[in-house]
Structure 1
Amino acid sequence: MSELATLARPYAAAVFKRAKETDATAKWSQSLAFMSAVLENEDISAVVDNPKVGKDRLLALILDICQEHLNEENENFLKLLVHNNRLGLLPSIVKIFEAYKAEDEGYVEVDVLTAYALSKEAKQNFAVTLEKTLGKKIHMNVTLDKSLIGGFLVRAGDRVIDGSIRGRLQHMQKALQ
């Protein structure tokens, strides 16, 4: 995984730099997400992975699917990825681009796993607490995970906060061994 990030980082940095220069970070974000979603489709993925499909045919197919969602610079970027056999890096490029965008805009993407659904009020209180803890504005994505038994697990970039019953049980198990 880190190898993919290492390969994707220069592409993401270049795209982010260009997006900032043209004041189009939101448009690039949408276009990259759309291209990535297209490539996640099973049928398209099979075509991308098929060595019998030439670069020109592959590029024509993807451009045809994405035509209404891409501008000229987006198309040129897609051509570059296809030409350099780096189309598989697109999900990593999107993730790194979004991290650069979040850093630039002063917020952090936070994934929260909870054992039970949070009420609207609990979600707001939790968001305020996380903002104080992390020292930044947050965009919080909440997902239910019954395997946590109780509590929460927060992932914000490289930082993980494990306040789950499952995590506490694992910690106790290690301590007892």
Structure 2
Amino acid sequence: MNAPEVVRRYAATLLEAAAELKSEAQVQADVERLQATLEVSAELSSCLRNRLMDSQVHRSLLESLFAGKVQPLTLNFLLLLAERRRAGLLPEILAAFTDLFDARQGILQAEVRSAVELSEEQREQLRQRLEVYTGKQVRLSARVDSSLKGGAIAQVGDTVFDGSLVRHLQRLQEQLAGALATHR
């Protein structure tokens, strides 16, 4: 079985187990907490990806870090991954779980690229505007794109909202060209 299929199966299994226990939202909160931990701890991510490390070491590490901090189901899932030597796939499994959870809940994923870091207030305003536009709940992820000279670009599914400085300048150029053409 290839890695993407393994990742999808583990994520789907966790979601189904959470659904049986009626704890999907709590497990999703755990998933977000785990993702944040992995993002800030390169050492933990590296350790989990180390296939030479004994699975008991991975198990002990995960148990010491997350026991009492995540739902029992989530902890048992982490320990199962360690036992099956799949802890290195944890970031991908967590991302797949979020995708499956969002699809089940009717939540749309929106990715925003901006020239500068967006404040929490700006992110919230943008998320709310996208929710009004789509009529659905939106999960927003934002990142800085240094290739943008200014503004931002948001993508929700196949729809792209281009508010970049380059696009604004292109529109201005088109308007000026149109105005000049009508005055000749």
Q: Shared fold (TM-score greater than 0.5)?
A: yes
Larger radius of gyration: 2
1:138–1:48 distance in 2 versus 1, CA, 3 Å: closer
Q: 1:92 is matched with which residue? A: 92
Mapping of residues 2-41 of structure 1, within 5 Å: 4-40=3-39, 41=41
Q: Give the deviation of 1:151 after TM superposition.
A: 3.7
Q: 1:175 is matched with which residue? A: none
Deviation track 1:93-115 (CA, whole Å, cap 9, x = no partner) reads 21121122222222213122233
Deviation track 1:56-77 (CA, whole Å, cap 9, x = no partner) reads 1221122011112134322321
1:167–1:59 distance in 2 versus 1, CA, 3 Å: farther
> Which one-letter code corresponds to 1:60 in the other structure?
S
Q: Give the deviation of 1:31 after TM superposition.
A: 2.3
Q: Is the 8 A contact 1:59 1:82 kept in 2?
A: yes
Q: Is the 8 A contact 2:113 2:153 kept in 1?
A: yes
Q: Which moved more, 1:147-156 or 1:44-53?
A: 44-53
Count of matched residue pairs: 165
Taking structure 1 as the reference length, what is the TM-score of the superposition? 0.71
SS in 2 for 1:23: coil
SS in 2 for 1:149: coil
Q: 1:130 is matched with which residue? A: 130
Q: Note the aligned Cα RMSD (angstroms).
A: 3.4
Structure 2 unaligned spans of 5+: 170-184
Residue 82 (1) aligns with residue 79 (2) = no
Taking structure 2 as the reference length, what is the TM-score of the superposition? 0.68
SS in 2 for 1:68: coil
Q: Is the 8 A contact 1:48 1:58 kept in 2?
A: yes
* Inter-partner Cα distance in structure 2 for 1:61 and 1:162: 43
Query: Matched residues, percent identical?
Result: 24
Residue 68 (1) aligns with residue 68 (2) = yes
